[in-house]
Structure 1
Amino acid sequence: MPAAAVDHLLGAAVVALAVVLLAAGTGKVARPPAPAQLAALGLPRWAHRPATIRLHAVAEIVVGLALVTVPGPWLVAPALAAAVLTATYLVVSWRAWRSPEPLGCHCFGWDDDRVVGPAHLALNVALVVAAVVAVVAGVRGWWAIDDLPPIVLGIAGAVALVAHLWGLSGNGGDTDRGGRPYLRRPIPKGQVVVDGRAVELTDLARERAQLLVRMPLIGREREYLLAALPEWRRRLPHVDVRVTEGDARGGYRRLGILGAPSAVVLGADGLLAGGPVSGGDRIRELVEELAGIAPTTS
């Protein structure tokens, strides 16, 4: 095969990888995944801090741009960065696929709730291969501006733009306090400790909605929340307000409860109905929202 044809094949893989990274990065910048969504994927605490989420999105954009602008051997550096990113995505996707409950990857933003499955894993394998190809292209001295027909770059840019705008369309329905639609997901498997015993999350809300509150161990916030519980129970006759004393089988992590105080609402229909939220103020806002929802009667 002529050297030019080989360069074009290598370049096609590099540009495809760059398009995916640019679409993912811009999607996350426009619609950052919620920390609770990333916590549900089992990522470490530092990985779902807001600053880390923003940095990750910027890194994807920078690497994507570098793949199609950096010339010759210098391409090896962003290609290796892309290899690290894509390999990490593959590991996270594999763990999500093996999770007992369906999980979304939120690869292109908070509203990308497609469930991770075999097709998702295949895409991530292809991205890892493309990253390795990008390293080879860098070693060969490939440069997009010199070696790839401009029409291909134009089509790739159009695909990235369409993918980005398509992702911005979002969904209708209820919104969270950031103005984004609240996407309800099934109550995950796992347990929390209530009244001294571990209970399956799916069993707690079989008959009535549940507001689960995780209290801090000490401090004024704990005292205030404990004092507020009777009033919350009075104002929420259609919801059981319960204080959790711990978790088992990853109950807190699967709910996205990152610390204390935190709260989440389990709907009687088997779906999460609010939260998770963190902090006393956010919990009080959640209670106000629930108090404004009239119970459904048959």
Structure 2
Amino acid sequence: MSSAPVAVLVLLLTLSAVLLTSGAAKLRDARATQDAFVALRVPSVVPVGPSAAALPWAEIVLAVLLLVSPAAVAWLPAALVLLLMLAYTALIARALRFDESVSCSCFGSIGSHEVGPRTLGRNILLSVIAAIVLWYALQGGSAVDAFGELGAAGWWALLATAAAVAVALLVAAASSSAHSAERDVLQDAEIADYERQPIPYGVVHRLDGHPLTLVEAATSQARLVIALNANCGPCVRTGEKIDEWARRLHPVIGVIVVYPDEHAARGQTGHSPELSTYEPDWNVRRVFGLLPPSAVLLGADGFLAGGPVSGEDEVRDLVEAVFIELGAPPPEQPVS
């Protein structure tokens, strides 16, 4: 028996599994999907809200159609999948040229990671698989026909492939879970035994061009330093809270918002411009290892007083902890 049906089905099932996983993950975390549209700077002709809501359903439907479409129309979902993969690849390739790092959330919350060459390589590979599937469909083939051509040996080969993939996924998931648990334990230990370190060297520039080192900034009062990017959904939402945080922390703690460059600092609209600064060569986020949105509390005694932390929720938690330490109630959370 020819091995062609097995090979084709492996590619079809791989593509369908990727689309189903991606669609389900996007449905589970709709906000991450909208953030990805913003971070990847999807052209404005594509409305973010409706597109982010429709995209996961489109992926799920295409995944099903790849497997159930008869030969006469199998080329249509295959062509749509190829176009989708090419669009994803183009967006990722474009994002690699941005001045600031991008988190794509291509697979909802489970795929939230910094865009890099590895992301581009994955999308190119998926595009190649989609192209092969389209070629097969244009030759008159379909998943339905391929399943029909399988003999006993073919079914065993397909099941063995599926079992191998399942074992690999389970091992990867277990490893990821173990690392996550270990990281949580280490974080809990760090919180319980927070050793204050001297404020490291870092310099920011105010919008008037005057440079300011982190040590100098914390000379007169403690400072909450918040690092943001311009094109980042979590950063935008964090930025919208900063004016209220600054008002309530004043005069005990001052707030400094750090952007990666002057253009981003001047272009922000979520908070008061006098809080904005920018950093030469990303020196602040590099010295602290920050991935925006992120924050660190500088003590007026020249030592770190909290953080650094990265992530929208983590920044909010740090600010709430500061409010509690100051004896003030934490900011009210919006009702969802």
Amino acid corresponding to residue 273 of structure 1 in structure 2: S
Determine the structure 1 residue equivalent to 2:299: none
Query: For the Cα contact (< 8 Å) 2:34–2:48, is it kept in 1?
Result: yes
Determine the C-alpha separation between the residues in 2 that align with 1:206 and 1:64. Answer: 54
Residue deviations 1:116-142 (CA, integer Å, cap 9, x gap) = 333322221111111111211212222
Q: Secondary structure at the match of 1:114?
A: coil
Matches within 5 A, 1:122-161: 122-148=121-147, 149=150, 150=155, 152=158, 156=162
Aligned residue among 257, 268, 273 for 2:294: 273
Q: CA deviation at 1:276?
A: 9.3
Amino acid corresponding to residue 292 of structure 1 in structure 2: F
CA, structure 1 residues 227+124, in 2 after alignment: closer, same or farther (shift >3 Å)? closer
Name whichever structure is richer in helix by fraction.
Answer: 2
CA, structure 1 residues 30+14, in 2 after alignment: closer, same or farther (shift >3 Å)? same
Higher RCO (CA < 8 A, seq sep 6+): 1
Amino acid corresponding to residue 234 of structure 1 in structure 2: H
Q: CA deviation at 1:197?
A: 5.2
Q: Secondary structure at the match of 1:29?
A: helix
Determine the C-alpha separation between the residues in 1 that align with 2:21 and 2:138. Answer: 26
Determine the structure 2 residue equivalent to 1:78: 77
Determine the C-alpha separation between the residues in 1 that align with 2:247 and 2:134. Answer: 62
CA, structure 1 residues 230+166, in 2 after alignment: closer, same or farther (shift >3 Å)? closer
Determine the structure 1 residue equivalent to 2:59: 60
Q: CA deviation at 1:72?
A: 0.4
Unaligned runs of 5+ in 2: 185-203, 231-240, 277-283, 296-309, 327-336
Determine the C-alpha separation between the residues in 2 that align with 1:76 and 1:199. Answer: 60
Aligned residue among 221, 224, 248 for 1:209: 224
Matches within 5 A, 1:257-272: 260=270, 269=288, 271=290, 272=293
Query: For the Cα contact (< 8 Å) 1:22–1:60, is it kept in 2?
Result: yes
Amino acid corresponding to residue 135 of structure 1 in structure 2: L
Q: Secondary structure at the match of 1:43?
A: coil
Determine the structure 2 residue equivalent to 1:44: 43
Matched, 1:91 2:106: no
Residue deviations 1:7-57 (CA, integer Å, cap 9, x gap) = 443333222211211111111112231534442222235758344222111
Aligned residue among 14, 17, 23 for 1:25: 23
Determine the C-alpha separation between the residues in 2 that align with 1:206 and 1:46. Answer: 43
Determine the C-alpha separation between the residues in 2 that align with 1:198 and 1:43. Answer: 35
Determine the C-alpha separation between the residues in 1 that align with 2:25 and 2:322. Answer: 34
Amino acid corresponding to residue 225 of structure 2 in structure 1: Q
Between the two proteins, the alignment pairs up a number of residues equal to: 251
Matched, 1:240 2:238: no
Determine the structure 1 residue equivalent to 2:190: none
Amino acid corresponding to residue 294 of structure 2 in structure 1: A
Determine the C-alpha separation between the residues in 2 that align with 1:117 and 1:97. Answer: 6
Q: CA deviation at 1:229?
A: 8.1
Residue deviations 1:59-90 (CA, integer Å, cap 9, x gap) = 11111111111110311111111111100111
Matched, 1:113 2:109: no
Residue deviations 1:217-258 (CA, integer Å, cap 9, x gap) = xxxxxxxx99968743427x33416699xx8545589xxx7x
Determine the structure 2 residue equivalent to 1:289: 320
Amino acid corresponding to residue 23 of structure 1 in structure 2: T
Q: CA deviation at 1:288?
A: 7.0
CA, structure 1 residues 5+161, in 2 after alignment: closer, same or farther (shift >3 Å)? closer
Q: Kindly name which structure, 1 or 2, has the bigger radius of gyration based on alpha carbons.
A: 2
Determine the structure 2 residue equivalent to 1:10: 8
Determine the C-alpha separation between the residues in 2 that align with 1:136 and 1:103. Answer: 33
CA, structure 1 residues 231+206, in 2 after alignment: closer, same or farther (shift >3 Å)? closer
Query: For the Cα contact (< 8 Å) 2:8–2:146, is it kept in 1?
Result: no
Unaligned runs of 5+ in 1: 174-191, 215-224, 278-284
Amino acid corresponding to residue 29 of structure 1 in structure 2: L
TM-score (norm 2): 0.55
